[in-house]
A and B are shown apart, each in its own frame.
Chain A
Amino acid sequence: MTLNSSMLLAAAALTLTVSASLANSAEAQRIAPAVNDAAIAEKGMPRKLAEYGFFIDSNAQIPAARVVPYSLNTPLYSDGAVKLRFAYVPEGQQAAADGEGLLEFPVGSALIKTFAFGEGDDRRLIETRVLLHRAEGWVALPYRWNAEQTEARLAIAGGRLEVDTAEHGTISYRIPNKNQCKQCHSLGDAVMPIGPKARNLSGAWLSDFSNAGYLDAIPDGHDTMPLWSARQDVSLNDAARAYLDVNCAHCHRPEGKASNSGLDLRWEQDDQTAVGIRKRPVSAGQGSGGFNFSIVPGDPTRSIMVHRMNSDNPGVAMPELGKTTVDKEGVDIIRRWIAEMDE
């Protein structure tokens, strides 16, 4: 009892120390255990998330020194999971800004994303996905939290479990396997991060990240994509195109998993047909829903894009991976965007 209490106190002290000062302050570095750089950089697949040392208190998701939380303006929909994102840049290194594009993280860096459902004391950690930048390229690995919430273990083949969600009730949640991580994160044959592009990050965060020494400069073009929670304040077109870029364009782009479809949903694509307008499907099968075009301007009910986003049938539903349920907010924005188009 006494031992447990004192450990709890110590953990609380650590938490206070870390949150009260910048994560890279000298004091925090002295107290907080360091990230295990070898686990990130060396070949092999650590069996437990704890081996990386990304967290001081993994259950509470309190990060270690140099492990910096971040968020995205417009996030990927993941069945309504709370997603806790962290970036780690090793000592003596810096990420490089590349305009509005992806921050270029040096070898030895890691991106960490924990998926959870519920709030406060009811929060349940489901899985933590890590992207490790090794000399031979990025490696993506999924870790599954145990029911006791004491540790997360490598789940190379992924898995399914029942999860209670606020919006959809109990769902069969899918943890992706290692290959499925790569399917979304692939650009040609290489694994790449998707999220931390300057255009989808806030200027304030980039400024802090740069001032702390983790990034060489504050890139132009930050905040190009709108804050999803404030999407009513921007044009329907910007909100919809940001949504499509973040939720679809990792596959629907040249060199992506769905390159053969010819549908290219990247933010920067301005060819109307490539974006889906009056574009016929190539290999949709029942995904077509009996409709002829991805997008029929002015007519969302006859647009394949809406039909597939609004389905939970695995032979129809888009995106194919990373979600089980329909994103009603996403469907709503795409539906209104198409309805507003000139016929």
Chain B
Amino acid sequence: MATSNARPGLPNPKSIVAEIPFGAGGAEAPGGAAPVYRILRTNEVDGYEKKPSKAAVAEAMFVEAKKKRKPGEQFGGTSRRIAKLSVADVKFEKFADVAALIATLPAHAVMVKKKIPTDAKSNRVAEEKRNVRMEAFIYAASVEDDNDYHLILGRAPDAGGSPVYMTMELSGLPPSNMKSHAALKAAREAFKKFFAKVFNGDLPGTSYDFYDPPIRVEVEGSLFWDASHAKGSRPGPQSLRPNMPVVWEVHPISKMKLFPPA
């Protein structure tokens, strides 16, 4: 992010770790709103204190951001709640990889015309009533305020051809009386257990972590077209978004098996 230090009193741009825009009234500037204030978080300290690294300051922000999330495992969102928390009652289709699945998905323009509502009671439309299963690789992941884990999955790193990725989500948990609860809980626990074992419990935060090498998984779940992103900016981290051709997701993931590096 470009930062001007044109006026006296601004920090050295090299010391800036984060630029946090705030709108009128002190709230963080909502999407699209022009910021009124900026906080420029730096790693500058008093002369008598040891200067922290920018990474250390970033880590502290990461911990802070994690604390701001709604605690627990429950789904905290409202948009298309019914669809996001349920597993379609249909047979599973097996695919060779992410690209093979994407090739079968209805085009964006077709789905836009359906004008799928985004209220909490919005259930799956016919095109979304599909369950899929495949081997894939987690390239990046983040956690959302509603407790969903956004996983960006693609083909094997040595698959050749153009890379292609799509979003699959480990949904925040539904109420315990929902039929899908046990499966969604088991999928989240498999993910967390793997991270506890391989990454010392270092789960992703609110911005994307990338994994090198990507994590091999066997994954199952229901299809979901993210109507809230029919127009405008799309999900996914900047580095992978150019190769994410759809806003279709596997959402929720109902089963996941993760494999450590060979």
Same assembly:
no
Which residues of B does A touch, CB under 8 Å? Answer: none
Which residues of A does B touch, CB under 8 Å? Answer: none
